[in-house]
Amino acid sequence: MKKYIKFVILLILVTYGICVNTYLRDVSFRSENTFIKIVSDIGNNIVFIPSISIINDLFIKKYLVNKFYDNFLHFLILSTIEVLSIKFKFLGVFDYKDILGLFIGLIFSMFLYYVFEKE
């Protein structure tokens, strides 16, 4: 049963990421609403870490360290790439809100870990 719930959560996260990237970004450029601008800016970053964690848990089942610490490693790697983009422009554009989105995703992923793994 847990696998089905995780799969549904994964579908919701992917759908959310697609909707934010496809629709909300266009709306945010025309909107004066600060909340919409922030959510559209960090929306994709929120789903990265939980999605990677669920995909790894459901399909791949190979971990760098273990289920728990891999979430932190993903956060550190993605945040480091974001910070390195200050110096190396081919990595993208630095935005502190992206790191905030990754941190929110880490918190959500840790919440899912404790819900599904700790009983």
The answer to whether residues 97 and 43 touch, using CB atoms and an 8 Å cutoff, is no
Question: Tokens in use for 98?
Answer: 């992206």
What average pLDDT does the chain have?
Answer: 86
What is the phi/psi pair of residue 97, to 5°? -65, -25
pLDDT at residue 119 is higher than 60: no
- Could you report the per-residue pLDDT of 52-105, keeping only the tens digit for each? 999 998 898 888 888 889 999 999 999 999 999 999 888 888 888 889 999 999
- Ordered DSSP codes for 7-63: HHHHHHHHHHHHHIIIIIHHHHHH---HHHHHHHHHHHHHHHHHHHHHHIIIII---
In 3-state terms, what secondary structure has residue 119?
A: coil
What is the phi/psi pair of residue 83, to 5°? -70, -40
pLDDT at residue 27 is higher than 90: no
**Any idea which residue has 């945010």 for tokens?**
28
Average pLDDT rounded to a whole number, residues 31-43: 77
What is the distance between the alpha carbons of residues 105 and 108, in angstroms, rounded to a whole number?
5
- Output 83 or 42, whichever has higher pLDDT: 83
Percent of the chain with pLDDT over 70: 97
